[in-house]
Amino acid sequence: MVKTAVMVSGGGTNLQAIIDAHIFGEIKNCELTAVISSNPTAYALSRAEYAGIPAYVVDAGRHPNGASFSEAIHKKLSELGIELVVLAGFMHILGPPLVRAYRNKIINIHPSLIPAFCGAGYYGLRVHEEALKFGARVSGATAHFVTNEVDEGPIILQKAVDILPDDTPFTLQRRIMEQAEWRILPEAVSLYCEGRLEIDGKIVRIKGARSDVERGRSDSEPQ
Active site residues: 110
CA-closest candidate to residue 193, choices 30, 18, 80: 30
Distance in angstroms (rounded) separating the CA atoms of residues 73 and 60: 10
| 64: CB partners within 8 A, 6+ apart | none
What DSSP string runs through 176-213? Answer: HIIIIIHHHHHHHHHHHHTT-EEEETTEEEETT--STT
Distances (CA, A) of 81 to 2, 85, 109, 191: 10, 11, 23, 20
Rg (CA), the chain: 17
Q: Is residue 105 within a helix (H) or strand (E), and if so which, with residue range?
A: none
